């Protein structure tokens, strides 16, 4: 579904990605684990064409997109839903308009069709449309904003969903709810998902496959069982949350 080959990216003198090879299988959730500032967001921004690689290839659904033009990028954006870390809702628009936004941008749906799609997507993320449609983002809790962000991400029926830290800043119960939603959406919409997270516990609930990013490369891949039992010292240290040992800490942003 998504194939990343030899992806390299540097910002100024800083080599962030030093040759990423990663296969992201269709219909599953792949989690990219790694230290803060290690380049996880940089990887997923390449999948949606927000960044162009210095070298390497990015295949999305059979198309190589690393040198895509604007028209191709527009097509990719329709296929790929991106849930930004911040939720990235428009503060000046109410919840209805926020979720309707991608539908107005990318489709010719009528107002009635837009309303019924917005209602359906809010229900999918466990929100009562009648209670939230007319509210503004700053009237919602952080967890509700994440859910509205998710409803907007799935508005266009994406084939791929990229989740950037979907549980950051949420309490454990709301985090669990978001993880359950990631699993449900994978099943209901048959999407391929990529999740980046620091939250090991939630990652194991939501993920099918795992890839560990360290020093600009993917150093280990496998399913949860493999990750929990691996003796790779970098993975072990990361999962155990120990700050001493083989990992040399990278500079934070
Ligand atoms: N557009 C940019 N210009 C310059 N430097 C950047 C840019 N985007 C990212 N970086 C740098 O690249 C490094 C990797 O950033 P990235 O956001 O991908 O890390 P991350 O693993 O997602 O971190 P976190 O988990 O903290 O979000 C950081 O040092 C960051 O400062």
ipTM score for this prediction:
0.94
Distance CA 164, CA 52 (A): 18
pLDDT at position 168: 84
Among 4, 7, 11, say which to mutate for ligand 1: greatest number of ligand atoms within 8 Å of CB: 11
Cβ < 6 A, ligand 1 pocket: 11, 16, 34, 36-42, 253
Q: How far apart are CA 142 and CA 2, in angstroms?
A: 31
Q: Which atom of ligand 1 is nearest to the CA of 35?
A: 21
Select from 12, 32, 40 the residue to mutate for testing ligand 1; criterion: most ligand atoms less than 8 Å from CB. 40
How close is the Cα of 121 to the center of ligand 1, in Å?
31
Question: To which CATH superfamily is domain 2-240 assigned?
Answer: P-loop containing nucleotide triphosphate hydrolases (3.40.50.300)
Q: Which of 17, 45, 253 to mutate to test ligand 1, by most ligand atoms within 8 A of the CB atom? A: 253
Q: Give the DSSP per-residue string, 60-86.
A: ETTEE-TT--HHHHHHHHHHEEEE-TT
CA of 129 to the centre of ligand 1 (A): 36
Give the chain's mean pLDDT. Answer: 90
Whole-angstrom distance, CA of residue 29 vs CA of residue 32? 10
**Mean pLDDT over residues 106-132, rounded?**
93
| Per-residue confidence band for 69, with pLDDT thresholds at 50, 70 and 90 | confident
* pTM, to two decimals: 0.89
Over residues 120-149, mean pLDDT: 91
Q: Residue 253 Cα, ligand 1 centroid: separation in angstroms?
A: 6
Dump strand ranges (E) for 39-174: 55-60, 63-64, 80-83, 160-164
Q: What is the pLDDT of residue 97?
A: 96
- DSSP 8-state code for residue 180: H
Which residue from 9, 12, 36, 39 has its CB within 8 A of the most atoms of ligand 1, so it is best to mutate?
39
Give the nearest ligand 1 atom to 43 CA.
Answer: 18
Question: What does DSSP assign to residue 120?
Answer: H
Examine the pLDDT at 253 and tell me if it is beyond 60. no
For residues 33 and 212, the answer to whether their CB atoms sit within 8 Å is: yes
pLDDT of residue 161: 94
Atom 18, ligand 1: which residue's CA is nearest? 39
Q: Look at residue 193 and give its three-state secondary structure.
A: strand
Report CA(40)–ligand 1 centroid distance (Å): 8
- The answer on pLDDT for 252 being more than 60 is no
**Residue ranges of domains in the chain:** 2-240
Confidence of residue 248 (pLDDT cuts 50, 70, 90): low
């Amino acid at each position: 579904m998504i194939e990343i080959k030899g992806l390299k990216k540097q910002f100024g003198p800083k080599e962030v990605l030093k040759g990423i090879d990663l296969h992201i299988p269709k219909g599953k959730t792949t989690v990219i684990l790694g230290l803060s500032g290690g380049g996880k967001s940089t990887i997923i921004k390449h999948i949606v064409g927000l960044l162009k690689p210095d070298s390497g290839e990015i295949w999305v659904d059979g198309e190589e997109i690393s040198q895509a033009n604007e028209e191709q990028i527009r097509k990719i954006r329709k296929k790929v839903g991106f849930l930004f870390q911040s939720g990235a809702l428009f503060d000046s628009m109410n919840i209805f308009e926020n979720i309707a936004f991608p539908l107005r941008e990318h489709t010719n749906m009528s107002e009635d069709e837009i309303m019924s799609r917005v209602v359906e997507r809010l229900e999918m993320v466990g929100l009562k449309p009648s209670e939230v449609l007319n509210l503004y983002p700053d009237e919602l809790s952080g967890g509700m904003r994440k859910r509205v962000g998710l409803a907007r991400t799935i508005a266009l029926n994406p084939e791929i969903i990229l989740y950037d830290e979907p549980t950051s800043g949420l309490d454990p119960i709301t985090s669990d709810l978001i993880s359950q939603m990631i699993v449900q959406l994978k099943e209901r919409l048959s999407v391929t998902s990529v999740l980046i997270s620091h939250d090991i516990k939630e990652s194991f609930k939501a993920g099918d496959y795992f890839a560990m990013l360290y020093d600009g490369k993917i150093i280990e891949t496998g399913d949860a069982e493999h990750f929990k039992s691996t003796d790779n010292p970098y993975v072990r240290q990361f999962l155990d949350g120990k700050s001493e040992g083989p990992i040399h800490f990278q500079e934070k942003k």
